[in-house]
Chain A
């Protein structure tokens, strides 16, 4: 969350040698199939929407050659899901210090400082400031609490939009006998604001949540939203609490014998959420959870580090809904190629966006709860 120095940014940018391998999935790993990986470049086409091109736009902003926040500039900067697929590929071919998505977040914060933002993102900030959640929802939703062993951080989307995920997670926690609680006054983790360059407001949210968490003294926190988990891991100071994705926590509950899920005996494709997979490196835990409940994972053509984004990340769902839909449609096509109209994922944003494109999406927590 700290501002990068211009020198660091420029140095990193100068090390991009424009090979554009970041635009496609691992070719030999996919049996020599040409599979696009960058939604932004694939949709908009101009080089500015691919990593190497966007870097040069950033350079010209820093050098002052670009001094006007045009609609196109805002589109170039914010019309990208920050899915991190580019970095995943780039780090394999270069030892240099580019982290594309981090640099693009930095680019957005430079634009935000100049007031070059999308109205939709400004509205999110206003909603968060007014209500503490990214959807501006005013109703207070209560969750049960059974103790302070583990905090379940629900997050705005599983609370106000994809409520079945949080309800399922609560059922799982109850069934395991884990003593859990939900923050009495949980605010947005800050992710939507950090991803859209609005760091100042995010700091206030973080300070509030930290205060709430410290008051409880739990040893663990569990998340059904990988975006929240990433934000806690990367942008919160060390709280002395173990931070776990639902899949990791569920797997440990099963291995400790506290949870005995049944078997679904079904084969389903699994969609890797960007925040969970590429950003946090959690690829195996959700697959293990699925195995535990008798779901045979059907791998999509683009999976793990090569997964195609669901389309909603980085403020794209609110900022560029058509682009978000196009990206999801692409993924849904790939899901349907497996012969399935149902997909499993592990992120409320993925569930929401992919369902908008016509497939049924089950969150892991939902499937686990169905087996209890």
Chain B
């Protein structure tokens, strides 16, 4: 039997195809200027865990590359094939919300469950997942498994995974955390023995296919207020950012450039953004009655002392961010400026913010980008660890314009080298364009990483070319 016939046998004829009219749709994403398009050989859409297992076993036997695909919206070329003969394993048919547990404040879901689907369900319990700025159409399993960055990171942190189930390339199923001892108690991250689950997290489909994951949920507060505080320079807001994070006063805290990031936050291109200060700190205060009022009062005091100015924006626009915190719909507007959006995403200490941005802007201008096409985004994520912050350095460009693509490649290489030199904590995720220069710098860690990879996937079938 050919691989196609085997796949047909496993998932059913109607759920697999090797026709380019099907495979082409999995060949390219937003990152195509860095990851060139390539069709997989087959797309298979299993409907059960057993079918996923059988496809993996077939691929392992035949040495056929496999790329797990949940919703394909990663925008970093992470599901674009590198090798010939690739099987694209589209697991979006596994879209069951297994459980929303009100008492435990958890949800157990399959990989085809999007944030939108999940919040529709959790909202009934007055709960929500931690939300990224990613469109609510992305897989909540994959986003968490890839360690996303969330709007409420200062309050809820980054890691929302409690336990999961993963099918390894050899077809074995592995459970993590408290699932190990009792499958219907998936609510605790730390099961018996060492916490090896973390080794898997943030791997771009390289160690197997996650088929179920249990996540933390958070309360939806009735009392919620959003502040947009304008600043005209990069240094001035630093004190405010430091205080509100250190003192755990806010759920959301972002520092962005006005022209590019306010449209997605306010949900409209149609506003006189150029009349506003160049930078904005966006703060979200939320809590239960009375605590909220006290917290809000302190935040207002700190804002007043910061030298920033609370922007007088129409209330319906201000409130758009409250919606976004229950599922981002307008965040993709940032792609709309020039048609394409480049960003390098990473973690670093808060106090380096001005330097990161100035260096990037200087380089981008020198390479030929216009000032209006350069921007940044900073999302603080913790009160500790030197006030860890998630950063994006961004360029708006038109990918059909060859010159700007060339400029971008130059800028990217320079930015990655610069950041590694200046000092960062780590990349948002390991992806093409940042992982290569990084592996050179991490010495024997890279060797152990490769050995572990080899241990889990000796035939190198899982998304080859994305890490090593």
Task: Using CB atoms and an 8 Å cutoff, list the residues of chain A in contact with chain B.
Answer: 7, 10-11, 14-15, 17-21, 23-24, 26-28, 32-34, 45-48, 50, 52-54, 56-57, 59-60, 65-66, 68, 70, 72-73, 75-76, 92-96
User: In the complex, are the beta carbons of A27 and B20 less than 8 A apart?
Assistant: no
User: In the complex, are the beta carbons of A24 and B116 less than 8 A apart?
Assistant: yes
User: In the complex, are the beta carbons of A15 and B399 less than 8 A apart?
Assistant: yes
Extra contacts, 9 of them, besides A32-B327, A46-B45 (Cβ < 8 A), are A14-B400, A15-B335, A15-B399, A27-B327, A32-B116, A60-B20, A60-B39, A68-B20, A72-B21
User: In the complex, are the beta carbons of B24 and A18 less than 8 A apart?
Assistant: no
B388, chain A: closest CB distance, angstroms: 27
Q: Quick check: is B9 within 8 A (CB to CB) of the other chain?
A: no
Quick one: which of A27, A33, A50 has the most chain B CB within 10 A?
A27
Instruction: Contacts A57-B25, A72-B19 given; indicate if A33 touches B120 (C-beta within 8 A).
Output: yes
Among A14, A52, A68, the residue within 8 A (CB) of B399 is: A14
CA gap between A217 and B26 in the complex, in Å: 53
User: In the complex, are the beta carbons of A56 and B27 less than 8 A apart?
Assistant: yes
Among A15, A23, A24, the residue within 8 A (CB) of B340 is: A15
CA gap between A60 and B30 in the complex, in Å: 16
CA gap between A313 and B45 in the complex, in Å: 28
Instruction: Contacts A76-B22, A93-B332 given; indicate if A21 touches B340 (C-beta within 8 A).
Output: no
Among A18, A60, A76, the residue within 8 A (CB) of B72 is: A18
CA gap between A94 and B264 in the complex, in Å: 10
User: In the complex, are the beta carbons of A66 and B20 less than 8 A apart?
Assistant: yes
Near A by CB (< 8 A), chain B positions 155-193 give none
User: In the complex, are the beta carbons of A72 and B340 less than 8 A apart?
Assistant: no
User: In the complex, are the beta carbons of A94 and B20 less than 8 A apart?
Assistant: no
Instruction: Contacts A27-B327, A73-B19, A95-B336 given; indicate if A32 touches B120 (C-beta within 8 A).
Output: yes
Among A20, A45, A47, the residue within 8 A (CB) of B137 is: A20
Task: List, sorted by A's number, 17 A–B pairs whose CB atoms are closer than 8 Å.
Answer: A11-B339, A11-B398, A18-B73, A19-B332, A21-B135, A28-B326, A34-B120, A45-B15, A47-B72, A48-B24, A53-B24, A56-B37, A59-B37, A60-B39, A72-B22, A73-B19, A93-B329
Q: Quick check: is B117 within 8 A (CB to CB) of the other chain?
A: yes
Among A21, A48, A94, the residue within 8 A (CB) of B22 is: A48
User: In the complex, are the beta carbons of A94 and B28 less than 8 A apart?
Assistant: no
Contact code string B320-337 (vs A, CB < 8 Å = 1, else 0)? 000100110110110111
A173, chain B: closest CB distance, angstroms: 41
Among A10, A19, A47, the residue within 8 A (CB) of B26 is: A47
User: In the complex, are the beta carbons of A47 and B90 less than 8 A apart?
Assistant: yes
Residues on B with beta carbons closer than 8 Å to the beta carbon of A17: 30, 75, 332, 335, 340-341
A80, chain B: closest CB distance, angstroms: 13
Residues on A with beta carbons closer than 8 Å to the beta carbon of B335: 15, 17, 19, 93-94, 96
Closest chain A residue to B121, Cβ basis: A34
Residues on A with beta carbons closer than 8 Å to the beta carbon of B461: none
Q: Quick check: is B55 within 8 A (CB to CB) of the other chain?
A: no
User: In the complex, are the beta carbons of A57 and B329 less than 8 A apart?
Assistant: no
Q: Quick check: is B29 within 8 A (CB to CB) of the other chain?
A: yes
Closest chain A residue to B30, Cβ basis: A17
Residues on B with beta carbons closer than 8 Å to the beta carbon of A54: 25
User: In the complex, are the beta carbons of A20 and B19 less than 8 A apart?
Assistant: no
Near A by CB (< 8 A), chain B positions 43-66 give 43, 45
Quick one: which of B17, B29, B75, B116 has the most chain A CB within 10 A?
B116
A-B interface contact total, Cβ < 8 Å: 147
4 nearest A-B residue pairs (beta carbon): A53-B25, A15-B339, A95-B336, A73-B21
Residues on B with beta carbons closer than 8 Å to the beta carbon of A23: 137
CA gap between A36 and B35 in the complex, in Å: 30
Residues on B with beta carbons closer than 8 Å to the beta carbon of A76: 21-22
Closest chain A residue to B120, Cβ basis: A34
Closest chain B residue to A70, Cβ basis: B19
Closest chain A residue to B341, Cβ basis: A17
CA gap between A76 and B32 in the complex, in Å: 23
Instruction: Contacts A17-B335, A72-B19 given; indicate if A66 touches B29 (C-beta within 8 A).
Output: no
Residues on A with beta carbons closer than 8 Å to the beta carbon of B45: 45-46
Closest chain B residue to A91, Cβ basis: B336
User: In the complex, are the beta carbons of A56 and B336 less than 8 A apart?
Assistant: no
CA gap between A93 and B73 in the complex, in Å: 15
CA gap between A59 and B29 in the complex, in Å: 12
CA gap between A33 and B326 in the complex, in Å: 11
CA gap between A33 and B114 in the complex, in Å: 12
User: In the complex, are the beta carbons of A18 and B75 less than 8 A apart?
Assistant: yes
Instruction: Contacts A19-B137, A93-B333 given; indicate if A32 touches B400 (C-beta within 8 A).
Output: no
CA gap between A155 and B73 in the complex, in Å: 42
CA gap between A266 and B255 in the complex, in Å: 54
A79, chain B: closest CB distance, angstroms: 10
Among B15, B329, B339, B400, the residue within 8 A (CB) of A28 is: B329
Q: Quick check: is B211 within 8 A (CB to CB) of the other chain?
A: no
Among B21, B269, B327, B336, the residue within 8 A (CB) of A70 is: B21
User: In the complex, are the beta carbons of B26 and A95 less than 8 A apart?
Assistant: no
Q: Quick check: is B450 within 8 A (CB to CB) of the other chain?
A: no
Closest chain B residue to A47, Cβ basis: B25
CA gap between A59 and B39 in the complex, in Å: 12
CA gap between A75 and B73 in the complex, in Å: 24
Instruction: Contacts A34-B120, A47-B90, A93-B330 given; indicate if A10 touches B400 (C-beta within 8 A).
Output: yes
User: In the complex, are the beta carbons of B399 and A27 less than 8 A apart?
Assistant: no
A56, chain B: closest CB distance, angstroms: 5
A310, chain B: closest CB distance, angstroms: 24
Instruction: Contacts A27-B136, A46-B17, A94-B335 given; indicate if A19 touches B24 (C-beta within 8 A).
Output: no
CA gap between A186 and B45 in the complex, in Å: 48
A26, chain B: closest CB distance, angstroms: 7
User: In the complex, are the beta carbons of B339 and A14 less than 8 A apart?
Assistant: yes
User: In the complex, are the beta carbons of B71 and A48 less than 8 A apart?
Assistant: no
User: In the complex, are the beta carbons of A26 and B73 less than 8 A apart?
Assistant: no
Closest chain B residue to A60, Cβ basis: B24
Residues on B with beta carbons closer than 8 Å to the beta carbon of A47: 22, 25-26, 43, 72, 90
Contact code string B326-366 (vs A, CB < 8 Å = 1, else 0)? 11011011011101110000000000000000000000000
Residues on A with beta carbons closer than 8 Å to the beta carbon of B90: 46-47
Q: Quick check: is B297 within 8 A (CB to CB) of the other chain?
A: no
Q: Quick check: is B123 within 8 A (CB to CB) of the other chain?
A: yes
